[in-house]
Amino acid sequence: MQMNSGSDDAGLLERIRRGDTDGAAELFERYAPALLRFTDRMLSDRASAEEVTQEVFLKVISRAHQYDGRAGVASWLFAIAANACRDRRRRERRATVVPLESVAEPRARGEGVEASIASRQRRDAVRQALSELSEEQREALVLARYHGMPYAEIAKTLGISVGAVKTRIFRAVETLKAHFSEGENSWTAAT
């Protein structure tokens, strides 16, 4: 994960606290790509991921004064994002909403659909594997694998011990290993 210096980030939050709109825009430019990647993998739905990422930034604006500097700004942002994803999943479970992906806008026939099938299948297989993990395992794994976050930082972000992070990642990798080792899904060997 591209880390920014803590004081730099804290300075941005200070600007947001003072009502500086450019500070909010700068924070967005700095962290939106990483937060969107995180929410997208946690929710497996692009539209929901965008909505939740927006929510995160709106919350940052309203809660900038609550940041106490105990964890880095990146950890704080990911903690807000993880909570927002959990809330969203809880609400969706209650409302049994059909994932937006299943009602994707129709494409014109032959519009490069075939060309994207293979990569789509690969992506779907990984998403399927990730969806088999518990929410806690997925959070820890996504932060470690896709954001390169050290265990100590993940622990601060998720509010758990480093030992718990190790356990969650261990179990997640064990599950994925078993999933990918199954005959049908070991397609990567051929790619």
Partner 1 sequence: MDCRDVTALGIERLTGEAPEAARRELSAHLAGCESCRREMARLEDAWTTLGVDPDAEVTPEFRRRTLGLLEEEMIRGRVRAFRPRPTFARPALQAAGLALAAGLGYLAAKGIPRATAPPTAGGPAAATPAASVPDLAANPRFANVSYRAADKDGRVSIGFDVTTRHELEGRPSDPEVAKLLAYLVAHNAETAGEKSRAIELVSEHFGTANAPASPEIVAALSATLRTDGNPGVRKKAADALASFPVTPEIRAVFLEALKSDKNPAVRLAAVDALAAAAKQSPDANTIQSLREKAVDPQENGFVRAKAASALKAISF
Q: Are 91 and 85 in contact (CB under 8 A)?
A: no
* Alpha-carbon separation of residue 147 from 51, 137, 154, 188 (angstroms): 20, 15, 10, 22
Q: Which is nearer to partner 1, 59 or 86 (CB)?
A: 59
CB of 176 to partner 1, least distance (A): 5
CB of 8 to partner 1, least distance (A): 19
Q: Give which of 18, 23, 80 is closest to 54, Cα–Cα.
A: 80
Two tokens at 131? 């969806």
CB of 122 to partner 1, least distance (A): 5
Q: Which is nearer to partner 1, 10 or 125 (CB)?
A: 125
CB of 96 to partner 1, least distance (A): 7
Two tokens at 174? 């064990």
Helix axes 73-95, 151-158, angle to 10 degrees: 50
CB of 7 to partner 1, least distance (A): 22
Q: Which is nearer to partner 1, 68 or 182 (CB)?
A: 182
Q: Which is nearer to partner 1, 82 or 130 (CB)?
A: 130
Q: Which is nearer to partner 1, 24 or 77 (CB)?
A: 24
Q: Which is nearer to partner 1, 95 or 108 (CB)?
A: 95
15-33 exposure pattern, b = at least 16 Cβ within 10 A, e = fewer:
bbeeeeeebbebbbebbbe
Which ranges of the chain does DSSP label H, i.e. alpha helix? 6-17, 21-43, 46-63, 73-95, 113-131, 135-145, 151-158, 162-181
For residue 14, report the phi and psi dihedrals to the nearest 5 degrees.
-60, -40
CB of 70 to partner 1, least distance (A): 22
* Footprint of partner 1 (CB under 8 A): 16, 19-21, 24-25, 28, 32-33, 36-37, 40-41, 46-47, 49-51, 53-54, 57-58, 61-62, 95-100, 102-105, 119, 122-123, 126-127, 129-130, 144-146, 148, 150-151, 166, 169-170, 173-174, 176-177, 179-181, 186, 188-189, 191
